[in-house]
Structure formats: C-alpha cells, structure tokens
Amino acid sequence: MKLERFYGILIPILSIILGIAVGAIVMIAGGYDAGEGFYQLYYGIFGEPYSIGETLRATAPLIFAGLAVAFAFRTGLFNIGVEGQVLVGWMVAVWIGISFDLPTAIHLPLALIGAGLAGALWAAVPGVLKAVFHVHEVITSIMMNYIALYLTNDILRRYIGITNERTETVKESASLASTFLSELTDFSRLHNGIFVAVLAAAVFWFILWKTTLGYELRAVGFNKSAAEYAGMSVKRNIVLSFVISGVFAGLAGAMEGLGTFQNMTLNASFTGVGFDGIAVALLGANNPIGVVLAALLFAGLNIGGLSMQQVGIPPELIKIIIAFIIIFVASGYAIRLVIDRFTTKKDMAKTSKGAGK
Amino acid sequence: MGFLEVLYIIVPIALAYSAPLIIAALGGIFSERSGVVNIALEGLMIMGAFVGIVSSLTLSKMGLGAASPWIAMLIAIAAGVVFSLFLAVPAILFRADQTVLGVAINMLAGGLTIFLVRALYDKGQTDSIPNRISKENVPFLSDIPVLKMFFANIYYTSYIAIILAFVAWYVVFKTPFGLRLRSVGEHPMAADTMGISVIKMRFIGVMISGGFGGLAGAVYATSISLNFSLTTILGQGFLAIAAMIFGKWHPVGAMGAALFFGFAQAISIIGQQLPVLDQIPQVYLLIAPYLLTILALAGVVGRADAPKAVGVPYIKGKR
C-alpha cells in the first residue's frame, strides 16, 4: 500500500519532468533558445501580478473540468463529453445572465444552477445509454460534444441573439467579476469563480468519501459485480455519476460565461477546456487536491506559454508538453517497470550475498 | 432547377467529402478489429493533412507539378504510420489507457503541426498548394445522362476510397491475415494459444490505421481545403469513427455510412443555394451523423457491437 502511494506521487512528477524535457527537445530541434523559452514561461506565470491573476482565472474552469472527468473516473466511467457539457453550461449561464433582472443573491446562484443542470442533462444522455443499453460512454459522449457544438451555435444565432459573433454581456447581478480581485492583479480577468471552484473540490471530496452515495459510486468503480451483489444498483449509480460529473462540467462553462468573458461567442471549434480536464484528472490522480494542483499547473502552462511568443516560440509548444505529460502518466506501467527492475536487482544482489555466506 | 440538376451538383460534392471519411473509417476498422481503440484518428488525419500540404508545397517548388499532391499523399501515409506509434507503443507495450492516449495524441497532433507551421512559415497557416487534386470528367461515362452524376466533376480520390473499402473488406474477412487480426481483437488469449502474436498483430493493426489516417488527412487537404491551418481537420476524424460504428466495424458498411455522412455534409455546405434544401436549417444536417450514430449504438437503427476485446490491453497469462 505504501508502495502504491509512492508511485501515485512519483509517476505524475516524473511525467511532468519528462513532458517538460520533451518540450525542451522540441524547442532545441526547432532552433529556438530553450533557456530563454523557459524563462519566458516562468515569467509569464509568476512575473507580474497580472499574469498570476490570469493563471488563477484560467485555473477555475480547469478545476471544474478536471473534477468532472475525475468524478466519472471514480465510478469507472470515462466522461470525454466534458467539452460539450461545458458549452451547454456556458450557454445556459449566459442566457440566464442576460435575460433576467434579479437581485444578485438570486440571479447569480440561479445562473450557476442553470449551467450545472444543463451540463447534467447533457451528461445524462451517455449515462442513461450506458446504464440501459450498455452503450460505451466514450463514443456517445464524443457524439454529444459535436451535437453541443453545432446546437449551441444555432441556438445563439436563432434564439439568444448575437451581434459581432457574440451575445450581450451578462447583467452585473449574474456576474462573477470582482473589481477587488481584478485590481489586486493589475486588471486581469480574475473573478470570484476561483473560490467557487475550490469549494467544488471540497464538495467533490465530501460526496465521494463522506456520503453513502459516494461510497456506492466508488464501489461500482472498484468492482461492478461486487457492488451489484452487495445490493447496489449499478445502473442508478452510473447515471448519477454521469449527472454529477455533468454538473461540474456545466459549471466550468459558467466560469467562462459569467466570469472570464461575461458573454458567449460563436464557437468554430471546441474550447479545449474539456480535453484539458482529462489531462487534469489524470495527472491529479482523480483526487480533489491533485485536481486543483494539476489545474494550476496546466493553467500556468497555458498562460505562461503565451509569453513565449515574445521570443518567437509558438505557444502551441504547451499543447505538445501537455500531450506528452498525458502520454507519460498513461504509460505509468512502463515507469514502474523501469523502477522495479532497478530495485529488484538491488534486492537480488542482497540475497545472493546472503546466500554466499 | 430540376431534381436531376440538383443531384448533378450534390453527388460529386458528397463523394468528395466522403472520400476522407471512408479512408479514415477503414483505418479505424483495422485498429479496432485488432483490439485497440482508435480515438486518435482525428490526430492522425491532422498529421496527414499537415504532411500532405507541406510536402505538396515543397514538391511543387521542386517542379514536380501535377504529380506533387499524389506523391505528397504517399509521404502522408508514411508519416501516419510513424505517428501511430505514439498510440501503438504505449497502448500495446505499456498497457496505457487507449482512450486517454487517443485524447493526448489528438492534442499532440494539433499542437505539433501548428508549432511546425509557425516554425517553418512564420504564420498560423500555410499557403495554398499550387497543384491540387483536380476535378475530372471520366471519358465517355461523364456524358451519359443520370449516370454522369457519378462521373462528372469527380475527384479520383473518391474512387480510390471506394476501391480501398472493398480491398479492406477482402483483407479483413477473406484472408488468413484478416482472420488473425480479428481473432486478437475478439479473444486475444485464444489467439495467443493458437500461436498468433497478439502484440505483433496489434502493432500491424494500429500502423495500418495510421497509414489510412494519414492518407485521409492528405486527401482532404489536397482536394478540399488546399492549405493547412488549425481548422483544416475539425471533427472529420470523429465523424469517421461514427461511420465505422454505424457501419458496424465492417469496411463496406463503414463506406456506406461515410457516403451518407458525406452527403449530409454536402447538403449542409451547398444546400442553402438549392431549392427545397434551403428550407432545412443547417444545424439538423450538421448534427444528423452524430445523432444517428447514437441511435445506432442504442440499437434503434440496428445494433452495433464493438470487437469484444477492444480497449483491453493484453497481458499474457492473465485470465
């Protein structure tokens, strides 16, 4: 058990180091100055209050997306549909934000709840199909992503109304914006969403480890048949897991709609938040603290990467680094194999010495 | 405009958009029939489109003229095979989660190609290729009324895609190789017992799929988009996966589904200019392929079942 915990921490850290090493190799191979690149990356994250604010701003949706993926993972399900759930959540949050006139105490929670419900509804489709028809959730979630992409654009165009590719700005009473946070960070777009996100991580922990529901969800994740035998409804838990995961994903959309942008634009392609969420959950080992830390890391990379442009390095380098981090974490078995080989050799050497006496 | 005239416009466009979908779907079949989930088709297509455009531009500069896009396709196939090793090695040797890998590879392809475009050309997208795959009229056949919709204004790549579908069907279902490929995807332990190397067959399956993915991207790039940018390949890989499932992991079935999806795409692109079709909101046509795939999976439109061992790493001696 101790060894498991050791690997649980070692593999993500090794993967980050290896991923950044690949980034360095790519920079050198592309004829760029890697040292300068990494300095710009560092400066782009920690250099100024503004960049710190932007990093934290980008962290909020990533925490939610990471929690969404991790929650489903805990029940043995792969929610690759976060991307679509983010879009519907974003849309509903903005729609509520612009169409009602209510006091903040009602309007903001209402917009957040709406976003969560929209995400839940979108996630319920693959959940129900998995539970009732045994359809693999990965494929249905991917299909739901594209349906969300085209449908939200259509609804924005035809019903919500757009000018210059974007909707109206949400009312102040539904906005997550914070003048205090913004001024504190040299007028970055940092908003109150980061607090909501950290709170959500605590809720994630509470549901999974402190409630009967969470116990059942995890039991289904560990061993479906055993859970069924113990009298738990696997079907119900699959649907619930997807729905709760969808709430987190929908709220990630609300972070963008009520916080970062205060509106919604027509999307030619996906936001990338959902796919980054998979990376976040994986690196964070589906653990709430891990997810928050991984979200901070990836947000930092994404924001800091923008500064690399100043020395001519394409910011796409960050995508390459993140992709390799995922590949290395997923290949944890190989990392274990290498470590085990070294350690067992040592043990063998010890025993053979002992035998010699 | 009469019904036939509308078909004369739509069918060639549908065939043009179907070609890359058919080819990529065939790639998916080779990988998944061997037991490796291939969400990475999108990434393979991105890579293929990028390599197809860059080599096409380079070859044109070298003065190869009209041959350059065709040679570029061959280079893209090779690039796809190599790139697919990022899926094959971790998935088959290191038992990594194949879906997770697919997501990573798609991200890698998107990042790496645009990184390289910026590094090579100092801008976010490439120039348009001077020598494209052009529309052809098949001699004689393109003069026959009605039938000419299949033979006039057609890219030869559409025919290649359809021929490849039948070749793939023959290889997968009528050859010993195909039997071995399918056996490691259905019951790897039984196959192993019979002396078939699961690892080797899966590597071959994924690499073939890489070649098809690369070709599919290059076909799209050299016949339709003509340059490469972030938005060149936007979901075509996933649409191909949908076609593969809708066609029940059967090459000819997948071809049929891809043709149908290509038709839906064609209508969504030019339907606005045609009578009757301009009444259908574009969004229905855009989401139709995805919706139908979900219905197919749920068993509403004939049940689609994946190869049994798909997505499960093979561990020797594990029951």
Give me the CATH number covering residue B160: 1.10.3470
Nearest-CA distance B61 → chain A (Å): 22
Kindly list the averaged pLDDT for each block of 10 residues, start to end, along chain A of length 357.
Answer: 75 92 94 91 91 95 97 93 97 96 94 97 95 87 94 94 90 92 90 96 96 94 89 93 98 96 92 92 93 96 91 92 93 81 62 44
Using the structure block, give the residue that is written with the tokens 């500064």: A307
Q: Is B243 exposed, middle or buried (0-12, 13-18, 19+ CB in 10 A)?
A: buried
B193 assigned to some structural domain: yes
Q: Which of B100, B119, B287 sits opposite A150 (nearest CB)?
A: B287
Q: Do A187 and A116 fall into the same domain?
A: yes
Chain A interface mutation, best of B103, B230, B314, highest count of A Cβ atoms under 10 Å: B103
A65 CB neighbour count, 10 Å cutoff = 36
ipTM above 0.85, yes or no: yes
- Is B293 in contact with A282 (Cβ distance < 8 A)? no
CA–CA distances in Å: residue A149 to residues A36, A127, B243, B291 = 38, 19, 19, 13
For chain B, say whether A341 makes contact (Cβ under 8 Å). no
DSSP structure class, residue B149: G
Q: Is A260 exposed, middle or buried (0-12, 13-18, 19+ CB in 10 A)?
A: buried
Distance CA B307, CA B242 (A): 15
Chain B interface mutation, best of A302, A306, A327, highest count of B Cβ atoms under 10 Å: A327
Q: Is B156 exposed, middle or buried (0-12, 13-18, 19+ CB in 10 A)?
A: middle
- Number of domains observed in the structure of chain A: 2
- Is B101 in contact with A278 (Cβ distance < 8 A)? no
For chain B, say whether A113 makes contact (Cβ under 8 Å). no
Q: Which of A143, A316, A326 sits opposite B115 (nearest CB)?
A: A316
- Angle ∠(A355,A356,A357) on CA atoms, nearest 5: 95
Q: By three-state DSSP, how is residue B234 classified?
A: coil
What DSSP letter does each residue of A201-212 carry, written as one string? HHHHHHHHHHSH
**pLDDT tens digits for range A159-194:** 998 888 899 999 999 999 999 999 999 889 999 999
- Asked whether A121 and A246 are in contact (CB, 8 A), the reply is yes
What DSSP letter does each residue of A74-141 carry, written as one string? HTT---TTHHHHHHHHHHHHHHHHHH----HHHHHHHHHHHHHHHHHHHHHHHHHHHHHH---HHHHH
| Residue B290 with chain A: CB contacts under 8 Å | 143-144, 146-147
B120 assigned to some structural domain: yes
Nearest to B263 by CA among B7, B3, B2: B7
Nearest to A61 by CA among A194, A205, A209: A194
B121 assigned to some structural domain: yes
Domain assignment of residue A28, given as a range: 1-32+313-339
Distance CA B108, CA A319 (A): 6
Query: Which amino acid makes up residue A284?
Result: G
For chain B, say whether A340 makes contact (Cβ under 8 Å). no
Phi, then psi, of B318 in degrees rounded to 5: -95, 135
CA–CA distances in Å: residue A35 to residues A28, A231, B201 = 9, 58, 43
Q: Do A147 and A112 fall into the same domain?
A: yes
Q: Which two tokens stand for residue B96?
A: 């990594």
Q: What is the pTM of this model?
A: 0.90
CB proximity list for A106: less than 8 A, separation 6 or greater: none
Distance CA B179, CA A282 (A): 36
B45 CB neighbour count, 10 Å cutoff = 38
Nearest to A60 by CA among A258, A280, A302, A295: A295
| pLDDT score recorded for residue B30 | 96
Q: Do A317 and A212 fall into the same domain?
A: no
Q: Do A260 and A181 fall into the same domain?
A: yes
Domain assignment of residue B211, given as a range: 3-128+146-297
Q: By three-state DSSP, how is residue B161 classified?
A: helix
A356 assigned to some structural domain: no
Q: Do A202 and A227 fall into the same domain?
A: yes
- Number of domains observed in the structure of chain B: 1
B232 assigned to some structural domain: yes
Low-confidence ranges of chain B (pLDDT < 50): none
Alpha helices in B196-250 (DSSP H): 198-220, 236-246
- Tally A–B CB contacts below 8 A: 136
- Asked whether A291 and A155 are in contact (CB, 8 A), the reply is no
- Is B108 in contact with A26 (Cβ distance < 8 A)? no
DSSP structure class, residue B313: P
Q: Which two tokens stand for residue B316?
A: 């020797």
A60 assigned to some structural domain: yes
**pLDDT tens digits for range B134-171:** 888 888 888 887 888 888 888 999 999 999 999 999 99
Nearest-CA distance B152 → chain A (Å): 32
| Residue B37 with chain A: CB contacts under 8 Å | 138
Q: Do A87 and A7 fall into the same domain?
A: no
Q: Do A4 and A57 fall into the same domain?
A: no
Distance CA B194, CA B192 (A): 5
| Residue B293 with chain A: CB contacts under 8 Å | 139, 143
Nearest-CA distance B144 → chain A (Å): 39
Q: Which two tokens stand for residue B57?
A: 């531009």
Instruction: Compute CA B289 distance to the chain's CA centroid, rounded to the nearest angstrom.
Output: 15
CATH number at residue A163: 1.10.3470
